[in-house]
Amino acid sequence: MDLKNLILILAAAGGIMPPASAQSVSGEKAPGRSSNPVERIMEESEGNVVIDIPADILERILKDDQQSQRNGGAVLRPGINKMSGFRVQVFSDGHNQHSLESRAKARGSAIVARFPKYRGQVYSFSSSPNWYTRIGNFRTSEEASAAMAELKRAFPQFAAEMRVVRSQIVVIK
């Protein structure tokens, strides 16, 4: 967050006041001075602005920033959040059209039967002419790679098809 945006936020919240010298008694703009309080503060301070932020507001700003960094720049709100992340693709096929959907869903069911932690995280879908099954909601490629290694050990017959793919994921907070 840059200085100008921080000043705007704090001015709107009543956290800072423009310097007294920037205001005239009659409320008129002083010659050569900006009528925008933020620009006036920046002009008069020559880049040396001291802002007294109440502790509760500062804590909230820092908490949101730290949470944003942990989530790859995305701020998680209570409820269902969609964000960029990764999934493990365990099925992708476009041959033998009449059985593709059932094979894609069967692959996901087999994985959930062996790994119940992925219940609700199996995504089978069609993008003509192919069907895909993807597993998980991983925020980082490292998390997805670790899950893929676990799945490859459990299902060596599918290992050659498995890969980590970038995807919109669902994160519930």
Q: Check: CATH 3.30.70 for 80-172?
A: yes
The pLDDT value recorded for residue 132 is 93
Peptide bond into 129 cis (omega under 30): yes
State the Cα–Cα distance between residues 11 and 169, nearest whole angstrom: 37
pLDDT of 122 strictly over 90:
yes
* pLDDT tens readout for residues 4-47: 666 666 666 555 554 544 444 445 555 566 677 777 777 777 76
Global model pTM greater than 0.85: no
Q: Which residue has the higher pLDDT, 47 or 166?
A: 166
Domain extent listing, the chain: 3-53, 80-172
Taking CA atoms, 41 is separated from 10, 54, 122, 165, 168, in Å, by 13, 19, 54, 48, 42
* pLDDT tens readout for residues 76-103: 677 788 889 999 999 998 877 778 889 8
The pLDDT value recorded for residue 97 is 72
